[in-house]
Amino acid sequence: MVDLQTQYQQIKADIDRGIQEVIDSASFVKGQVVKDFESELASYLGVKHVIAVGNGTDALQIALMSLGLQPGDEVITPSFTFIATAEVAALMRYKPILVDVDFETFNIDPAAIRKAITPKTKAIVPVHLFGQCANMEEIMAIAREHHLYVVEDACQAIDSTYTFTNGEVRKAGCIGDIGCTSFFPSKNLGCYGDGGAIFTNNDALASQMRAIANHGMVVRYHHDMVGVNSRLDSIQAAVLRAKLPHLSEYTAARQAAAAAYDRAFAHHPRLLIPARDSQSTHVFHQYTLRLVAPDGIDAATYRDGVREQLISRGIPAMVYYPVPIHLQKAYKSERHAEGSLPNAERLANCVLSIPMHTCLEPQQIDFITSNLLEILG
C-alpha cells in the first residue's frame, strides 16, 4: 500500500545527515531540531503556532483538553472514520455524538451536524478523510451560530487546501480553532516512528496546549494544570525536516497517480471513483473506490471477494473502515442503533482502497488497474 523504502532512497543523504546530527548533538528530546521543524511547518501551512507532540491521537486529546470542556459535554464527530476522534472524547469522559457522512465525499455531513446539536454540544471534530477537506465553510458557519469550538482532524489531509466562496484559501487543519495531524510513517508527511502536531492561530490556546503536552508546566516543575507527556523526539523531527521541502512534490505525485486511476476506472459500472469537493484539493492519503455489487449479492461479500482476488495477484488492497464507529462494541448505544447512519453503513460495506503513495510508477498503476478491471469483468 505504501512504498517507504523507495521514498527513503530518494532523499537518503538528507535523512541520514539529519539523524546523524541529532546523534552527534545528543539532544534527543526537545532539541533545537524540533523547534526548527515546528517553525518550518508553521511557515509552510501559514499558521501561527505548531506544537509537535507524540502522535496524532495525542494531538486530538490535547486539543480537546485545552478547551475546558466538562464530563458529559457533547462532541460531534463522524462515524465513518478511524476510531481516534471518538476515542479521545470518550477517554476524557465527554460524550461523542456520532453523525452520518456524505456518501460521495466520505466526509461529515453538515446537515447531520445541525440535527445533532443540543444545549450540551460544545465542539465539532470534522475529519478530512482520505485527504480531502470536509465542508468547512458550512461547518464554521454552524459553529459560529451555536458558539461551538471546531477541532479539525487533518491527520490524513496535510497539504490539502480549502477555498471559501469569498476567495480565502487555507490549509487543512488551519481553519477551525485547532487542527491536528499525525506523522505516522504511512501519512503523506510521515516520520519513522510515531509523531503528531497541533496547529492554531490562537495564542492563548497555543500556550495552553504546549503546557498540557509538557505535564501541565509553564515554568519548570510548576504544574498549573493537569497535563500529559507527549513530545516529538528529535530524530523524528530530523526525518520530518528532510521530508517537508518535498511535501508539495509528494502531493503532486499522489494526485497524478489518482488521475491515472480515475482514467482507468471512470466508466466501469461496478466502480465509483473518489468524488472531489469543488472547494477542496485532494491529497489522496488513500485512493478509495466504492464498489457496486451486482443485484442479489451482498455488498460487503462482493467487495471482500474482489479484495481477496487482488491480494492473490500480489496487489495490496485495504478496507478503511469495515465497521463504522457507531456499530463498534465500545460505542454502541440506543441513539446509534444499526440503520441510524445509513451512509456510514453503506460505505463500510462497499469501500476498497488500492495502493497510493509518492513512488507509484506507470507500470505499477497499469498492473493494478488492468488486474482490477479483469477481476470485475
At residue 338, does pLDDT exceed 90? no
At residue 334, does pLDDT exceed 80? no
Q: What's the predicted TM-score (pTM) here? A: 0.96
Mean pLDDT for the stretch of residues 236-242: 98
Half-sphere exposure for 68 (CA within 13 Å, toward CB): 5
pLDDT (tens digit per residue) in 135-185: 999 999 999 999 999 999 999 999 999 999 999 999 999 999 999 999 999
Mean pLDDT of the residues in the chain: 97
At residue 368, does pLDDT exceed 90? yes
Mean pLDDT for the stretch of residues 101-110: 98
HEC assignment per residue over 94-157 = CEEEEECECCCCCCECHHHHHHHCCCCEEEECCECHHHECCCHHHHHHHHHHHCCEEEEECCCC
* Residue with grid cell 531540531, as numbered in its chain: 33
